[in-house]
Structure 1
């Protein structure tokens, strides 16, 4: 699959409003741990390009699931199928217990969709954009007005509420797109590169908001190529490559017992060298080997077997009189899993 196909997200205008009958359901999310999204044997082709070629996926309610893969792996195509905007050629799909094809209104009423390319009516204000979608979901006027005001505050757009969307920056439009996906209080969120265009403060706010939404019992599926951001919010991950699921059960909790490399930086090389000579840890220089004055900062790479071992190494270094300036993984767990996967597939 080519990246052009995978990036074929509708973005020239707003997404279609929910079909007739897609009133937002007055139901609570399913219990945490149950499957909010189920995909089995999913296939979708664009002419001779097989965009999805056997995707299997389960995303839990009450969890943030990361959708990981290189450009052209099928991530956006999969999200479009889940959102009911593409019909699959084969396979089984359930979103909040509803088939997006056989029961489009039921699925869409329970799904919040945020595409990578934001499309909206530029002549409408931010408040009017959200109000239009609230009306499409047939929220009562008073409830819709309160919901819109609350969402604008949640995504920090209250001061821009009555300005036309055309004057909003890319990051502000992204935040408006997230509010639009949440307007009907969906059980499932499908987010394609939601942090694109956001400033650092807004990225932090996004992570906290998605974490809260998952903690409330929603199913959150997030696609992003920035693995460090996904690492900070994801409970689970699904890896795609060439339209196929290559790993469908990565868990942040499970990887707490995998071998990792930490970078340890000390304020003085002397005490660090003395400790390493007797510490019994597996280590190597963090760069070209050069003679460092005993009172100058120095760093090493230390291999640890799991989180408990990482804590033991730090505790031992401090107890031995090493002034540790920093101690952190070289790469995150999610990034390491991705790199290991790519290495295996070479």
Structure 2
């Protein structure tokens, strides 16, 4: 959870979602140990969905925020381990504000002072992070209910019907997130959206990864590669300055794989001080080619590697700097600082106010499409 994030939920909405689980529904536990009953509210508005492949890999997703709750992958010993942070129940997701695993919308990352200008009209969005609009505002899609539909054992869709004026964003938007688990242990996430009025959109997945399989362990030993020669610097409020800067000869250089912790505390480098570690967007060299590797993360302990592929121009690397031990997740494990890392494929932060950057505007005659592939492998 990033510092300064606030959650404001309608009291009636909270009461409805916190209603006791329906006692008539009884299902077996998932491979990850989750009880699907704990994700079902009395009104039936939320559920836990499970997709699996032929290798035994399992991904559990709730339609509350389109959140990935667990990802079970084999380690170098062939043992299935869970590699993402999350909670055991829907009540925890409601009562413990976080972005864990969420399908973020309408606009992932920050918009400067919550202001966008569309065809000469200035629109003031709600602000919820250092005076900026973060992840779609205080009631962004991660705190709303998607319409979930299981297509088959390996494929799930989540649909969001967002009305005109949702968090002050213009246009009625219909967005669909499709999760497909392939037999080569890749989770392919596709985002598609249309609008009836010109708007901005920038979706991503906000999973917190710990590839060791031990969520209490720091990820500073994980080896990270990012296929990017440049990044977008930020000020002390985490807002992009508009500059695109080289990573060469700086702690931001991951063009040669290195441990996340190697330079993370070098606060003499102002960008690491501003981010309290890594919380920056990298400008990918991939030019939208999803076949090119955008980033790779490896846990030396488990041997698990995560390869990231995307058609997006950027990737936000957030090293869990503001996890502070106040949240206990699945199995009651405390989430301390830097026990997870996020790899959020995206358009750059505040793109609507930076005309020279790849556009995030969506017209009524257009279809937004974004794709991210998280592919898991094992290095023995």
Q: TM-score if structure 1 supplies the norm length?
A: 0.23
- More helix per residue: 1
Provide TM-score, normalisation by structure 2.
Answer: 0.22
The structure richer in strand per residue is 2
